[in-house]
Amino acid sequence: MSDSNLSAAAQEAATDTILNIDLNVQAQKGPDLRKDHPKSHGLVWGEFKVEDKIPESLKVGIFAQPKTYSLWARFSSASEAEKRGKLRSDLDPDIRALAIKLLQVEGEKVLDVEKETQDFLLINHPIFIVRDAQGFANLTKASVGQANEEELRSLALTFEVIKAITSKQVANPLLVQYWSTTPYQLGSQVIKFSIKPHSSDTPGSTPTSETYLREAMVKYLSEDGLDATFDFLVQLYVDDEKTPIEDPMQEWQEQDSPFIKLATVKIPAQKFDFEERKRLDEGLSFTPWHTLPEHEPLGSVNLARKKVYQEIAKARRGNIQHRLTEPQAYSSVLDNPQ
């Protein structure tokens, strides 16, 4: 199974295009913020309980035996900051996302930056917004007005998918389904994964607050004292036609590859809307490459993420470190909202 239909040189060039633009945008809009998913609706703790009765062939990596892992889960919106000091309103259409970090995961990891974690990244839609790293690069160029006519034309389907995702009404991030959209290894097999809530989202009155998604989570977990529980599900690769590895814009249909439950994610009732938690939230970084080799990401999009996510996190942390060790005058770092 090839990692991409792009040549190695094209993959690398596309990845560097994404990275250079992202670093530039990050420097302008918030050097200590994530470039993507800067707006968090909540970082919450929970547990990931591996099922007792998993098919023998799927007992790989973290699923090798029944076990409960502690986790951090970060619910967010995908769009970058609007400008320095201003994150997007929850009332604006956006892609909603969930990043999960399992803790105390033993074994050698693909990256050596975090020795004991396993990350899972998901969005609230079953397919991804681009097909490969080149599509990613074209979209990144379009976002800063640098795409030419041909590149813009190539993004027609991407804009349709973004429109479909952003038109979804999410009332509470704890009550919607999320998908990996891109494929991963499960030992010698290939999977996609999804996290499906036990309770479903029922939009009530039309929200008016710019932070209504965080407020919905606070009400659910902290004020009403409810737990949020999800099934962790996988779909198995069938063949290149029904379940392509190199086209994350094609959905793996449930009738072709039914979901199999491997674990339960539980987020207990808790308080999380306080400054210390928000600082931890800002300090964490998530990438599909914080992983055991048995769960390695596959495909061109994930390959691009490997370099981009690492470099963006490094720049963000480096900026914070530099400003603490060598403080600058506010005028020289434009440290004020425009």
Tell me how far apart the alpha carbons of residues 242 and 118 are, in angstroms, rounded to a whole number: 28
Q: Which pLDDT does position 29 carry in this prediction?
A: 66
Residue 40's domain is classified under what CATH number? Answer: 2.40.180.10
Q: Which pLDDT does position 205 carry in this prediction?
A: 81
Q: What angle do CA 247, 251, 252 make, to 5 degrees?
A: 100
* CA of residue 255 relative to chain centroid, distance: 26
Residue 104 inside a domain? The answer is yes
Residue 333 inside a domain? The answer is no
Does an H or E element contain 231, and which? strand 228-236
Percent with pLDDT over 70 in the chain: 93
Contact (Cβ atoms closer than 8 angstroms) between residue 171 and residue 203: yes
- Give the type of residue at 181: T
Contact (Cβ atoms closer than 8 angstroms) between residue 146 and residue 329: no
75-116 pLDDT, tens digit each = 999 888 777 778 899 999 999 999 999 999 999 999 988 999
Contact (Cβ atoms closer than 8 angstroms) between residue 164 and residue 128: no
Residue 187 inside a domain? The answer is yes
Q: Is the pLDDT of residue 34 over 70?
A: no
Mean pLDDT of 141-166: 89
Residue 334 zone, left/alpha/beta (φ > 0; ψ -120 to 50; rest): left
**DSSP codes of every residue in 132-201:** SHHHHHHHHHHHTT---HHHHHHTHHHHHHHHHHHTS--S-GGGS-EE--S-EEETTEEEEEEEEESS--
Contact (Cβ atoms closer than 8 angstroms) between residue 238 and residue 256: yes
Greatest mean pLDDT range, 8-22, 160-174, 195-209 = 160-174
Residue 52 inside a domain? The answer is yes
Confidence at 2, pLDDT banded by 50, 70, 90: very low
Q: Which pLDDT does position 35 carry in this prediction?
A: 61
Mean pLDDT of 201-230: 94
Query: What's this model's pTM, rounded to 2 decimal places?
Result: 0.89
Percent with pLDDT over 90 in the chain: 62
Residue 75 has φ and ψ, to the nearest 5°, of -100, 135
If one compares 2 and 142, the residue with the highest pLDDT of the two is 142
Q: Which pLDDT does position 214 carry in this prediction?
A: 97
Q: Which pLDDT does position 283 carry in this prediction?
A: 86
**Mean model confidence pLDDT for the chain:** 89
Does an H or E element contain 123, and which? strand 118-123
Q: Which pLDDT does position 268 carry in this prediction?
A: 97
Tell me how far apart the alpha carbons of residues 259 and 185 are, in angstroms, rounded to a whole number: 16
Residue 79 inside a domain? The answer is yes
Residue range of the domain that includes 195: 8-321
Lowest pLDDT segment from 135-139, 156-160, 200-204, 288-292: 200-204
Residue 2 inside a domain? The answer is no
Q: Is the pLDDT of residue 274 over 60?
A: yes
Residue 118 inside a domain? The answer is yes
Structurally, how many domains does the chain consist of? 1
Give the helix ranges, DSSP H, for 198-298: 212-217, 275-283
Residue 276 inside a domain? The answer is yes
Q: Which pLDDT does position 181 carry in this prediction?
A: 95
The CA distances from residue 303 to 298, 299, 321, in Å, are 7, 6, 28
Q: Is the pLDDT of residue 263 over 90?
A: yes
Q: Is the pLDDT of residue 332 over 70?
A: no
Does an H or E element contain 17, and which? helix 8-29
